[in-house]
Structure 1
């Protein structure tokens, strides 16, 4: 399967909502960042949304892959692409966050060299109107991770 990573001005909402279940949250950053789309079999199967948070820092605010295409390296390719672009743009730090109950994303981010720097306790109950369930557990805490480039 060939995967192409493209920059898009029209990120697919359905994929963004896989990575962030709050339409209000997605609406807040969708026009403030750069979206990279993974295309396979002539359709968009993954997204990575990156925003600039400080002069030399970007945050990956959304990384999602269509469930039918997961575990095929698409998320890894998107992450590699986002990090390469950040370096090319002169960034020195990349941040990312995920729920503490999601072992897959945490393991992926750690494998790239991201290190946990903060746990935001009860983040999801505070900021999301309905409980979010991942890996059979309710998401409560948000783990923030950081990588120096």
Structure 2
């Protein structure tokens, strides 16, 4: 499976983006300033990632999602390694990703791939989303920021 740029998001892309972030408005905002990529299977996206520059030295992973039924097959790992390669190739020094404090699987994966927790944004999901978000049966409130030096 190859990672390629996403030119125009289809309904399938949106289904994936919304798995990672329930706010279409926020996704549209960072799609305007970012770089979108996908992994597909038979011309259907099964994994997506959106990268946005935060400064001339920092690139942030704003969205990463894998289709249901394709999880635990290394697709997210491929996308994260691609993000690191993209960041290095384009001269960024730091790669950042934020996730929910209740996103236990994601936190494990990111740390396994060399990201380190650097900050907690208290009440991020309460302040930035109109509807409460629940993960693992818990009310999601805080964002955990992780960074990796390139």
Measured against the shorter chain, the TM-score band is: over 0.9
Alignment-derived partner of residue 28 in structure 1: 29
Deviations 1:21-46 (A, max 9, x none): 11111111111100110112331001
Hey, what does 1:111 align to over in structure 2? 112
TM-score (norm 1): 0.95
In structure 1, the residue matched to 2:43 is 42
**2 CA distance for matches of 1:132 and 1:69?**
23
For residues 92 and 30 of structure 1, the distance between their equivalents in structure 2, rounded to whole angstroms, comes to 22
Task: Measure, in 1, the Cα distance between the counterparts of 2:63 and 2:23.
Answer: 11
TM-score (norm 2): 0.94
Q: Distance in 2 between matches of 1:134 and 1:45?
A: 21
Structure 1 counterpart SS, 2:54: strand
Residues matched between the structures, number: 147
CA RMSD between the two structures: 1.0
1:9 aligns with 2:7: yes
Structure 1 segment 58-97 matched on structure 2, within 5 A: 58-97=59-98
Structure 1 gap ranges (5+) = none
Displaced runs of 4+ in structure 1, greater than 3 A?
none
